[in-house]
Chain A
């Protein structure tokens, strides 16, 4: 059986089906992260000090615990990966498959760099015995950045598939493959937007 509306638009919605599906999924993701952001606000408003006492030390600012330059670097990495992602789709639109491979490869590389930097940040926290159980600040920090990190891992897996074995579809159904990259991009950009809000909320405020 052939899947309907993978390349042509569905007359009643005006978009191809997968795009509508991914946007519905992203709407549910808004609620997932929204719930955690509201938990952050709730914890923060109720705390007499923020970040407050952690492992016997008093911290008056988030930047006393978290490394702002490293967070800034990771923000830049994720923004760069969003640009290379959209350029990989644009390359397919311009029928340039080798450029697609280059930009998608860069997107995956930036995703890995982001995760490696995050892993260093986590191990630094753990080496100081800063665990989620230590304080409300660390609990929400690890929950939000951890869930975001899982999303980055998920995105890398999908992108790796489309960079490697999945890219065979370009030869048989180029339009359908281009659409796949567009919607994989929608997800990846969403993960970028979440970080754009996470970074100032957790690191800077």
Chain B
């Protein structure tokens, strides 16, 4: 890529970064506004988690350039994601392992 097209390319990126920033700010306001509605716990978790995943994906996809990143990086992240899920499942499934009758008054 020549230097001028490189320059133009980055300029286009800058516009995208500003749009992503606006989206992130708007989603932050939305998630806080929804919290004030005092939904019951399950829908509240679903909505908050969904918005957090969208925001996290925007940061990872655009600021960390994951949408155009090489396969090796994506593979590392898939492995990390799989291990993260295993970690969550192991921890949560161990919840019933202990005798809780002595813990709850």
Contacts and interface: CB of A to CB of B under 8 A. Distances in A.
A76 B21 CA distance: 10
B48 A204 contact: yes
- Sorting the interface of chain B by its residue count into under 10, 10 to 19, 20 to 34 or 35 or more gives 35 or more
**Chain B interface, >50% SS class:** helix
B73 A193 contact: no
Contact of B24 (A45, A48, A79): A79
Interface residues of A, number: 49
**Chain A interface, >50% SS class:** helix
A99 to B, nearest CB: 11
Interface string B20-43: 110011001101100100000100
A146 interface: no
Interface in B27-84: 28-29, 31-32, 35, 41, 44-45, 48-49, 51-52, 55-56, 59-60, 62-64, 70-73, 76-77, 79-81, 83-84
16 contacts: A27-B79, A31-B80, A34-B84, A34-B87, A38-B88, A42-B92, A42-B94, A72-B29, A79-B25, A79-B28, A85-B63, A90-B13, A185-B63, A192-B59, A204-B32, A204-B44
